Structure 1
């Protein structure tokens, strides 16, 4: 019914075209100034946190193991939206007030860190123990062994699933609209609230998310193919 009305009513088609064109620039601004930076910053911080959390889980120090497990359990076992609400709306009750964008970065980074740590831990565990022993045999310390031998190999194993995490993060940034971050979906909500063309605006923003994620998916597939050929050789 929606599509048939558009193509049978020239005035309606013109109206929708004008709305789509006028909303494109604000949506792109929301993407380039908020959605994409939020994704990149949160992923980088989350990845660093994931590496340290994975190492803590594999540590011989029990306290570090328990702390890492508790952190992972909490952030993997609760909804991301609830986490964002606690950070942005809940912490002010403790006189801790965080602006929308930093609050979103904190929430997404903690989430990426929890999920990414299990990916990194599995990748490190997949490296044969002989690699560790080879490093120790030539006098390397634990940190040197980890930096020069283990992590470079683990990076190859963890790259495909971490790429999936990044692509998912880009889509999850739409949740930041719920804590007043003016990212792409928030802009679509604001525009739709003035003209009430929710289907059109939300469809347009969905298309933009797809345009952003599709090239990343192609790049990910290319990387996976290259890694698989390298592993076969």
Structure 2
């Protein structure tokens, strides 16, 4: 028996949105951590580590998210595991997001002038110390706009998880549509919900990009923060010349 599409159905969709938001946050945080590790391996001096990270990134970027989700949910049965839809979706989105975040972070790290690495080596810093103290603090502002922008893609991609039974907003909308048969109202409401989630993130990404462009325009061309600091330190020979 069909029923009308009322505020109760809208409320069910709003309640289901929390699972979309939670899955997006898990993918964002977990993928960000994985992405940092991948980016570190991509700029490593060891060829084996670089090869492993490149293979990981190419696999997840070159295969559909839906296939990855099916592999995690259905394929895990071949090794004796039977994850629930939530665990399979969380794992898939973390690994998939980590591959893209890894490329974003790698690009930001490699955009730092080579002189920063050389200056750090001259100061006696090791590779990990250079990353943590010199390179990453400069790379973070560069990576913020594309990172926030990719968050929009994560939110929209969570609808794929409905195909393995995760009761997020897209699956809830499909269920409601079967009992109301009002696809325009149901999926129109879902589109409005996704818009309300993604539009502020798009605005934030644009604002961060404009602020980054403005801040970089105030720095003299070719001069990097660490180089400025080194230039302010008097050379030992300068003191000797005045004696």
Length-normalised TM-score, structure 1? 0.88
The equivalent position to 1:124 in structure 2, one of 106, 109, 118, is 109
Residue 147 (structure 1) aligns with:
132
Residue 217 (structure 1) aligns with:
202
Q: Retained in 2: the 8 A contact 1:120–1:154?
A: yes
1:218 and 1:203 mapped to 2: Cα distance? 22
- Which 4+ residue blocks in structure 1 deviate beyond 6 angstroms? none
Higher helix share: 1
Secondary structure at the counterpart of residue 96 of structure 1? coil
The equivalent position to 1:188 in structure 2, one of 168, 173, 186, is 173
The equivalent position to 1:86 in structure 2, one of 71, 75, 80, is 71
- Are residue 39 (structure 1) and residue 24 (structure 2) matched? yes
Secondary structure at the counterpart of residue 19 of structure 1? coil
Q: How does 1:94-105 map to 2 (within 5 A)?
A: 94-105=79-90
- Are residue 65 (structure 1) and residue 19 (structure 2) matched? no
Deviation of 1:138 after TM superposition, in Å, equals: 2.4
> Which 5+ residue runs of structure 1 have no aligned equivalent?
1-14
Deviation of 1:20 after TM superposition, in Å, equals: 4.5
The one-character-per-residue Cα deviations of 1:167-202 (angstroms, maximum 9, x if unpaired) are 100000000101111111111111111122222211
Residue 25 (structure 1) aligns with:
11
Q: Retained in 2: the 8 A contact 1:131–1:150?
A: yes
> Which 5+ residue runs of structure 2 have no aligned equivalent?
219-243
Q: Retained in 1: the 8 A contact 2:33–2:98?
A: yes
CA RMSD of aligned residues (A): 1.6
Number of residue equivalences: 217
Q: How does 1:149-164 map to 2 (within 5 A)?
A: 149-164=134-149
1:86 and 1:127 mapped to 2: Cα distance? 37
Which deviates more from structure 2 when the two are superposed, residues 190-199 or residues 169-178?
190-199
Deviation of 1:26 after TM superposition, in Å, equals: 1.1
Deviation of 1:93 after TM superposition, in Å, equals: 2.6
1:170 and 1:231 mapped to 2: Cα distance? 30
Secondary structure at the counterpart of residue 97 of structure 1? coil
1:202 and 1:90 mapped to 2: Cα distance? 31
Q: Retained in 1: the 8 A contact 2:149–2:201?
A: no
User: Greater CA radius of gyration, 1 or 2?
Assistant: 2
Secondary structure at the counterpart of residue 201 of structure 2? helix
Which deviates more from structure 2 when the two are superposed, residues 132-141 or residues 144-153?
132-141
